[in-house]
């Protein structure tokens, strides 16, 4: 069980009722250091002035959307913590919204209405199994791969892999003429 009483969290939610629900659920988990912001500017200032471990970010905000906020935190030169764990929370669970949040650099994604168990599992995942971060020319954020497959015997894809990113000759994708190397 995750020790949540030592975690500092930021809730960026423009709906005061939803913010209250999230706050009370997290207090039920034993969390005490919960900061709240109703807009991006306030959230950015809170991040500058405080050590925040995890941010719960509403997708639909007034001035910027949640994805724009995540990109700002991940990529701005004056970002106070580009490595913060970010959980996107939204009422829209369609594929485009989920993929947009992942591409922006969110660590986790939740669809409202949020259940206490789901929130607890997402918080625990951020604490106990944080993802490594990846930087490419077009993306900075948590590694998008959910799981590592210990029995994967496919082609190497990264320069840091043992074969230096070279696709083995026996790879079916290589035979078909399709590259399987992810540029970094």
- 136 and 66 belong to one structural domain: yes
CA-CA distance, 81 to 55, in Å (whole number)?
11
130 and 158 in one domain? Answer: no
Give the number of domains in the chain: 2
For residue 155, the model assigns a pLDDT of: 59
pLDDT of residue 160: 61
Last residue of a domain, one of 125, 142, 159: 142
- Residue 18 has what pLDDT? 95
Q: Note whether 53 and 8 are within 8 A (CB).
A: yes
* 132 plus 66 within the same structural domain: yes
77 and 114 inside one domain: yes
Tell me, what's the pLDDT at 153?
60
Give the CATH number for residue 83: 3.40.50.2300
Q: Tokens standing for 165?
A: 């990113």
> Could you tell me if 11 and 31 lie in one domain?
yes
Q: Are residues 62 and 109 in the same domain?
A: yes
pTM, entire model: 0.78
- Tell me what pLDDT residue 129 has: 87
SS3 (DSSP) at 12: strand
Nearest to 47 by CA among 29, 24, 28, 74: 74
pLDDT at residue number 2? 62
Q: Which long-range contacts (CB under 8 A, 24 or more apart) does 78-82 make?
A: 80/44, 80/47, 80/48, 81/47, 81/51, 81/52, 82/140
**Average pLDDT for runs of 10 along the chain of length 184:** 85 95 96 96 95 96 88 94 96 92 95 95 92 89 73 59 49 41 38
109 & 24 share domain = yes
Under a CB-based contact definition with an 8 Å cutoff, are residues 92 and 66 in contact?
no
Per the omega criterion (within 30 degrees of 0), is the bond before 176 cis?
A: no
Question: Can you give the pLDDT at residue 112?
Answer: 93
Question: Do both 119 and 160 map to the same domain?
Answer: no
Task: Tell me, yes or no, whether 161 and 118 share the same domain.
Answer: no
Full domain range(s) for residue 76 = 4-142
Query: What is the structure's pLDDT at 58?
Result: 96
pLDDT (0 to 100) of residue 156: 58
Distances, alpha carbon 46 to alpha carbons 53, 77, 81, in Å: 12, 17, 11
Q: Are residues 161 and 72 part of one domain? A: no
Q: What residues contact 135, with CB distance under 8 A and at least 6 apart?
A: 184
Are 104 and 52 members of one domain? yes
Is the domain of 111 the same as that of 161? no
Question: What's the start-to-end Cα distance of the chain, in Å?
Answer: 36
């Amino acid at each position: 069980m995750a020790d949540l009483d030592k975690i500092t969290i930021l809730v960026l939610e423009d709906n005061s009722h939803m913010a209250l629900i999230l706050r009370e659920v997290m207090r039920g988990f034993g969390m005490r250091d919960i900061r709240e912001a109703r807009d991006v500017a306030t959230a950015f200032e809170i991040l500058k002035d405080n050590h925040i471990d995890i941010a719960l970010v509403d997708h639909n905000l007034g001035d910027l959307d949640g994805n724009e906020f995540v990109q700002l935190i991940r990529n701005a030169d004056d970002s106070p913590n580009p490595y913060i764990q970010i959980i996107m929370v939204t009422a829209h669970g369609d594929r485009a919204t989920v993929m947009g949040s992942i591409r922006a650099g969110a660590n986790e994604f939740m669809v409202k209405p949020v259940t206490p168990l789901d929130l607890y599992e997402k918080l625990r995942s951020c604490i106990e199994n944080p993802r490594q971060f990846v930087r490419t020319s077009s993306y900075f954020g948590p590694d998008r791969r959910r799981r590592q497959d210990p029995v994967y015997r496919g082609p190497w894809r990264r320069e840091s892999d043992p074969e230096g990113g070279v696709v083995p000759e026996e790879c079916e994708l290589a035979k078909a003429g399709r590259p399987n190397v992810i540029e970094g």
